[in-house]
Amino acid sequence: KLHFGDYRFAGGHAADMHGHDTEISWYSVGKLGKLWKKVPGLTHLITQGDAGGRALGGGMELGAIDLPNLVHAEFRTGGMSKANARAIAKATTMRDLEFLEIWYGDEDYGGDATAKDAQLLLDRTDLPSLRHLGLRNATFADELIPRLAASKLVTELSELDLSLGCLTDDGARALVASATKFLHLDTLDISKNY
């Protein structure tokens, strides 16, 4: 298992962290592209930090993700870059992936990923094991609803997490209008939307 950007795994303790030290946008993970070939047996990955390059050290660059044994992945950011969103969406070696969570964040934190970048993931038909999909912390949550309703990938899920985003009344109405597309889900989380 690899955890990047989580102060608990960096030798610190919660009591030692103050102010911005605990904010997700201040973590710098760095360039990870060369790492993937070195850890082919990796099954669990959690990255937490700035993906837009605002943090000291340049944020996070995922590069071409090549993790054939990955079953659980979380990419938590305050601002997901378009390049990283596309790297996740286009990762070719994730057939065993069961749990995927992406935090898209906000442009004020360097995030330039859009619903079109999420669409690249939603168009995939080669993730047979995926049961949990989290498209969290998305300012474009309303735009995701019709895309999710039309996605074949969603029909295979048991859990869909759209929490922490900006789902408005319009998005909620679109969700209700497409309710039959989500009836198979055990869990649909839209909590803590702004």
pLDDT of the residue at 122: 98
Q: Could you tell me the pTM of the whole model? A: 0.87
pLDDT of the residue at 35: 93
Higher pLDDT, 11 or 133: 133
Cβ proximity of 42 and 2 under 8 Å? yes
pLDDT of the residue at 94: 86
Position 5 confidence tier, pLDDT thresholds 50, 70, 90: low
pLDDT of the residue at 11: 39
* Range from 5-19, 20-34, 150-164 that averages highest in pLDDT: 150-164
Mean pLDDT to the nearest integer, 123-127: 95
Residues 6+ apart with CB under 8 A from 126: 95
Rg of the chain over Cα atoms, rounded to whole angstroms, equals: 16
Residue 99 phi/psi, 5-degree rounding, is -135, 120
Find how far residue 82's CA is from the centre of its chain: 12
Interatomic CA distance for residues 69 and 157, integer angstroms:
19
DSSP 79-111: B--HHHHHHHHH-S--TT--EEEEEEE-GGGT-
- pLDDT tens-digit profile of 50-108? 665 555 445 789 999 999 999 999 999 888 999 999 999 999 888 899 999 999 998 88
